C-alpha cells in the first residue's frame, strides 16, 4: 500500500475544496487547544482535574451551594478564559470568505469561530456557547462578561437581575439533550454537503460524531484532520494526523493560490 506524504495529502484536500461548493467543517477540542483552551478527555485535560459527575444538570439544580461550586469549577478549569482564535479558526473562516462554506458544526463552546470571522448564523454549536448565560426561569440571556463583573461566589451563585431565577451557562450539561433545532440543522447540512472536513475531533462523542457518517452516506467526500487516529479513519477519503492550525492554514494558502 502506497503511503502518501503530508504534502501530497494537503494537495489532494486542496483539490477537494477547490472542486466543492458546499463545504461543512466539523470541529472538536483539538481546534481550541491551540488557543490555550483545555481539552476535556485528553491526559491532563479537564476530566483529569475535575469529576465529570459534578457537571450534571441534576446537581446544578439541586442547591445554591452546588451551583456556586460548579461556577467555581468552570472558572478554575480555564473554560471561560478570554482566548483568541488561532490559525485553524482563521483558515476555516477563510472558507466562508471565499463563498464555499455551508456551515461550521462545532462541539466547542468558546465562540472562537465567530471571533475569527465566521457568520454566527453559519456556526452550529452542538454543546452551546460559554459566552452566554441564560435564566432558567424567564429565559433572559446575559453576556458572560456582565455576569463575571458581579460574580461573588462567597455569597452564592449569580441570579437573574430580572426575576431572581437560576442563571446557568448556556452550555449542555451532562443529563441534558443537545439543542434539537441546532442538531437537526447540523444533520441536514451534513447530508447536503459535498465535502465534510472534521478538524480536531476524536469523533467519540455522540450524536455529534455521526456528522461525517451522514455526509459520507449522502455521497460527500470526508477529510479528517486530527493529531491521533479515529475510529472513522477507514471511512475517510483523506486523513492527516497533524495539528489543526498547521494543516488548515497550509491547505487554505494552497486553495487561495489556486483560486487567485
Residues recognised as catalytic: 127
d(CA 186, CA 180): 10
Cβ proximity of 208 and 40 under 8 Å: no
Instruction: List CB contacts of 203: < 8 A, sequence separation 6 or more.
Output: 28, 209, 212, 224, 226, 230, 231, 232
Amino acid at each position: 500500500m502506497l503511503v502518501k506524504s503530508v504534502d501530497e495529502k494537503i494537495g489532494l484536500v486542496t483539490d477537494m475544496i477547490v472542486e466543492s461548493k458546499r463545504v461543512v467543517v466539523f470541529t472538536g477540542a483539538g481546534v481550541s487547544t491551540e488557543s490555550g483552551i483545555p481539552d476535556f478527555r485528553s491526559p491532563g485535560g479537564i476530566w483529569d482535574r475535575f469529576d465529570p459527575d459534578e457537571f450534571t444538570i441534576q446537581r446544578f439544580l439541586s442547591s445554591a451551594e452546588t451551583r456556586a461550586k460548579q461556577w467555581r469549577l468552570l472558572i478554575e478549569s480555564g473554560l471561560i478564559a478570554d482566548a483568541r482564535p488561532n490559525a485553524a479558526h482563521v483558515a476555516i473562516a477563510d472558507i466562508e470568505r471565499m463563498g464555499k462554506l455551508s456551515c461550521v458544526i462545532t462541539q466547542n463552546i468558546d465562540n472562537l469561530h465567530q471571533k475569527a470571522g465566521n457568520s454566527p448564523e453559519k456556526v452550529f454549536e452542538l454543546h452551546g456557547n460559554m459566552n452566554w448565560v441564560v435564566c432558567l426561569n424567564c429565559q433572559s440571556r446575559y453576556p458572560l462578561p456582565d455576569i463575571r463583573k458581579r460574580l461573588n461566589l462567597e455569597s452564592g451563585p449569580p441570579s437573574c437581575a430580572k426575576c431572581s431565577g437560576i442563571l446557568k451557562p448556556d452550555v449542555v450539561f451532562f443529563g441534558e439533550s443537545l439543542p434539537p433545532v441546532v442538531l437537526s440543522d447540523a444533520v441536514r447540512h451534513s447530508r447536503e454537503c459535498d465535502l465534510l472536513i472534521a478538524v480536531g475531533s476524536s469523533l467519540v462523542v455522540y450524536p455529534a460524531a455521526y456528522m461525517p457518517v451522514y455526509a459520507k452516506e449522502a455521497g460527500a467526500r470526508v477529510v479528517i484532520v486530527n493529531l491521533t487516529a479515529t475510529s472513522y479513519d477507514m471511512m475517510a477519503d483523506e486523513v492527516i494526523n497533524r495539528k489543526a492550525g498547521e494543516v488548515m492554514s497550509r491547505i487554505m494558502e494552497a486553495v487561495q493560490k489556486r483560486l487567485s
